[in-house]
Amino acid sequence: MTSSSLSVAEATLLTPYALDQGALERTFGQIMTHQVDYADLYFQYCRAEGWNLEEGVVKSGSFHIEQGVGVRAISGEKTAFAYSDDIQWSSLQQAAWATRAIARSGQEGRQSLLGSVPQPKPLYLARDPLNTLEDSSKVRLLEQLEHYARALDSRITQVMASLAGEYEIVLVARSDGRLSADIRPLVRVSVQVIAEQNGVREQGSSGGGGRFGYDYFTEAVLQEYAHQAVHQALTNLEAKPAPAGPMTVVLGSGWPGILLHEAIGHGLEGDFNRKGSSAFAGRLGERVAAAGVTVLDDGTIPDRRGSLTLDDEGNPTQRTVLIEDGILKGYLQDSLNARLMGMQLTGNGRRESFAHIPLPRMTNTYMLAGNRDPQEILASVEHGIYALNFGGGQVDITSGKFVFSAAEAWLIEKGKLVCPVKGATLVGNGPDVLTRVSMIGNDMKLDSGVGTCGKEGQSVPVGVGQPTLRIDGLTVGGTA
């Protein structure tokens, strides 16, 4: 983070409303007259747009600007929070009065004078992606994507494509004196196709994005998205009903890491473990996975959708080892949970917007590669399922139980892919599944940049990834 980012943030979020660092210090002074351990102010400006194409025409579009400030005060385990979409001194005062009600009157909390602190090198360019392409070119981009998809096969009867961009500026002021800012671009392209043959309809989807401008979406990138979506739809047209029962399952690399994210990653977030509601609670130092399984959360990968130079509490994100060679090493922490659990902060405090409190959340969560060739893994399976892509799923954090539907899967017989199958669902328990990993591929890949994670009503962009994995004895729910 450079001083210019802080200057841009102050010029956008403070100066137009006659606010400065002195006003923020007075706000903290007002809050800290009560027994408050910590307080912070989270200012945010966000400009976002969306374009949607269907039946060859851009039928809908959206554009909105939102801005505001969230005020949080913490006393012990209690949190008070208030927010306003009006960044004015009077609104800031009202929010401050509301949050300090969390604590009794009495000895003042500690407060420091605000000052910018050295920040990590930015992980993405501080530019507005909405301005990296003319509106007419955005329409042409979607039209190109549709053209590429339809040209691949005459069985493609419908194409839906979307383009989304976001430019966000955040400023975080804290009662410990830290003042920091981040400028965050984010773009995404998605395509969904429907293929029809002999009265049967199937769909396929693809897309990607990250923290850069629209110029990332070159012809080659768009063609690859179109190819992936069409391939998935056509594969499912030929698919047979999936078998059911316990069997060996091979998970593909990349996006199938969403199962790792949902079934295991959430259970490693600090708040669930502090409250004892996670299946991993109290198990630090124990074996929770097969040998060779190493799981990381890394918010420091440049330009990735789930990356952040600073989290939403103004702390640098980190590369955090969660499971190392099967042993549970740590949890994801925001400031509150790290303090209450007596553990190291990991820079995982995230919030959807100024209207939400920060929570321990994942950034880019993935499993490291092993040493097995993916073809060797497939060849080792006598009977099973090869799941290359996933659709929706559900997980229970307390028990770790999950159900995931495969968007593209193949039947494996005697080490060979026999035919595509549809209707396959994977049913299991996250901690149990980790112990059933018997082979780990050397092809670790991150997803293309499409993930969004929900927790307690808040959605944030995330990344996932993994190598090809062989999992023994996983229950498959099928339609055969």
Angle of helix 135-152 relative to helix 219-237, nearest 10 degrees, comes to 40
In 198-228, the DSSP E strands lie at: 200-210
Q: Which of 297, 439, 445 is nearest to 377 (CA)?
A: 439
**Cα 161 to Cα 141: distance, rounded to the nearest angstrom:** 10
CB neighbourhood size of 190 (10 A): 19
**Cα 85 to Cα 355: distance, rounded to the nearest angstrom:** 8
Partnered with residue 251 across adjacent β-strands are 387, 469
Q: Which of 432, 383, 431, 423 is nearest to 404 (CA)?
A: 423
Query: 223: burial class by Cβ within 10 Å (0-12, 13-18, 19+)?
Result: middle
Residue type, 334: D
**Cα 446 to Cα 427: distance, rounded to the nearest angstrom:** 23
Residues 6 or more apart whose CB falls under 8 angstroms from that of 459 comprise 352, 452, 453
Tell me the pLDDT of the chain (480 aa) as tens digits. 456 899 999 999 999 999 999 999 999 998 987 788 899 999 999 999 999 999 889 988 999 999 999 999 998 889 999 999 999 999 999 999 989 777 655 455 566 678 777 788 999 999 999 999 999 999 999 999 999 999 999 999 999 999 999 999 999 999 999 999 999 999 999 999 999 999 999 999 999 999 999 999 999 999 999 999 999 999 999 999 999 999 999 999 999 999 899 889 999 999 999 999 999 999 999 999 999 999 999 999 999 999 999 999 999 999 999 999 999 999 999 999 999 999 999 999 999 999 999 999 999 999 999 999 999 999 999 999 999 999 877 788 778 889 999 999 999 999 999 999 999 999 999 889 999 999 999 999 999 999 999 999 999 999 999 999 999 999 999 776
Query: Is the CB of residue 280 less than 8 Å from the CB of residue 273?
Result: yes
Structural tokens at position 292: 């060779």
> What sign does the CA torsion over 313, 316, 317, 320 have?
negative
Task: Give the dihedral of Cα atoms 238, 242, 247, 250; nearest 10 deg.
Answer: 40
Structural tokens at position 407: 């968007």
Q: Tell me the backbone φ, ψ of residue 367, rounded to 5 degrees.
A: -105, 140
Task: Give the dihedral of Cα atoms 245, 249, 252, 254; nearest 10 deg.
Answer: 80
> What predicted TM-score, i.e. pTM, was given to this entire model?
0.94
As a whole number of Å, the CA-based R_g of the chain is 24
Q: Is 61 helix (H, G, I), strand (E, B) or coil?
A: strand
- For residue 271, give the H/E element and its range: helix 270-274
Return the residue matching tokens 């800290």. Answer: 32
Q: Is 376 helix (H, G, I), strand (E, B) or coil?
A: helix
130-153 pLDDT, tens digit per residue, is: 999 999 999 999 999 999 999 999
Residue 200 DSSP symbol: E
Could you give the count of Cα atoms lying within 13 Å of 457 in the half-sphere of its Cβ? 4
Q: Tell me the backbone φ, ψ of residue 328, rounded to 5 degrees.
A: -70, 120
